[in-house]
Amino acid sequence: MKKLQVFLLLTVLVTACVTFPQLFTQAQAESISAIKMTNSDTVVFDEGLQQEVITLAKNSVVTVLSESNGWAKINSTFYTGYVPSGSLQAAPVQYMLTSAKFEPNVRLINDAQGEIIGNLPSNHIVEVYTTDAAGWSFVRIGDLSGFVTTIALTTPIKKQRIVKEPTGLTVHYKASSSSDTIGTLPKSTEVTMLSIFNGWAFITSQTVSGYVPVIGLKEAPKNTSTTDPKPSNNLGKKQIALTFDDGPHPKVTPQIIQILNKYDAKATFFVVGKNVKKYPGVVKKVSDAGHEIGNHTYEHKKLTALTVKQINSQIQLTDNAVEAAIDQPTTVFRPPYGAYNKTITGLLEVPNIMWSIDTLDWKHHDPSKTLQIVKTNAKRDSIVLMHDIHQTTADSLDSVLAYLSQQGYEFVTVSELLEK
């Protein structure tokens, strides 16, 4: 019966520290249209659109099988049903490379005992939609989607290429000329190549991502690359919110404040109450520098495993510690591991904040990987997850801020981003 508890707590203000419940399965008889997310709590109806099957939480990720007349047929682990098309939005995707040494198992659920529904081919690009703290990622390649162990995935090396074929190139869904076509690229289009397999290159461009014949590409001249222009006034400012969890740390947090100040960048720090009690002076430095203080519970426990009384205690003790340190309450909340439900959000008096980019700094401890993940995924209004308890995070921050500044981003707090 445990597997029948179908709920998905991942939000787009999410990429990482939650064990995602099981809302995914492989469509057996229909082609996959898209992976999308709910933009509000959404009721799933049966085929007759009469009976409610289940209610999906806001920002649940689902597989869309088809859409017609304002309704989308979606697939979850144990259910297939219909939701209004207007309740869905595009899910953020990250492209990763599968292991070159073995073919990872794809499982129906994010559990080592879960049913195996296929395998990922080695050295192929896959679409990654979620990554959790337990080491599982939800991926799609072709018509196969499910959970794989995250250690089987690596960040691909990007190479700039230009379409050289006079008639352009047809982009295919799979690395095969018999695969469905999903677009075309005119001659001289600049693309980013992420991998090569049996004469096919996986590329991304401003309009389409997929497979093209390698022979149709040529290396992009280094002296012709253009710089990213500053955003025009009529488009408004490109804003991004940097967030730091689990502090304060007596050494790392002050370093991060200093680097943020160098770029006149404001950020949001989701603090752990017991650390605030140890280092109230550090929290005051964060606040005095103009950064936002958020509540990340007192002991960083998984709230969904606690009683209501215990949850309240974790929240209130942290608020008390923060107010004692800076004479101000916390203004936002983030649940440890991204684990929350309606009971938890019902207890909050401030917004519950997730993330859209997980730098995985807590996992790889590699400044270059942190920078690469930001480069790959940064977009307007992103919320970036980092941790101010790791020296390697502080070591990466200068290069992250330099890159984002060059791309024209303004660094704001989460609350400032929500006000847009």
Helix (H) or strand (E) holding 377: helix 367-377
Q: Please choose, from the candidates 21, 96, 94, the residue with its C-alpha nearest in 3D space to the C-alpha of residue 62.
A: 21
Q: How many residues does the chain have?
A: 420
Q: How far is Cα 319 from Cα 106, in angstroms, rounded to an integer?
A: 42
Residue type, 316: Q
Q: Please choose, from the candidates 12, 6, 14, the residue with its C-alpha nearest in 3D space to the C-alpha of residue 335.
A: 14
SS3 276: helix
Q: Could you tell me if 81 and 44 are in contact, meaning their C-beta atoms sit under 8 angstroms apart?
A: yes
Catalytic residue list contains 245: yes
Catalytic residue list contains 387: yes
The two three-digit tokens of residue 345, written as one number: 């959000």
Q: Which of 124, 172, 249, 387 is catalytic?
A: 387
Locate tokens 């109450």: which residue? Answer: 273
Close Cβ partners of 226 (under 8 Å, ≥ 6 residues apart) = none
Q: Which of 245, 246, 361, 395 is catalytic?
A: 245
If one counts every other C-beta atom within 10 angstroms of the C-beta of residue 308, the result is: 12
- Beta strands at 125-131 and 181-185: parallel, antiparallel or unpaired: unpaired
Question: Which whole-number Å values give the CA distances from 222 to 161, 204, 405, in the listed order?
Answer: 10, 19, 22
E strands, 164-208, are: 169-172, 181-185, 190-197, 200-204
Close Cβ partners of 305 (under 8 Å, ≥ 6 residues apart) = none
Q: Please choose, from the candidates 16, 104, 24, 15, the residue with its C-alpha nearest in 3D space to the C-alpha of residue 56.
A: 24
Instruction: Provide the annotated active-site residues.
Output: 245, 387
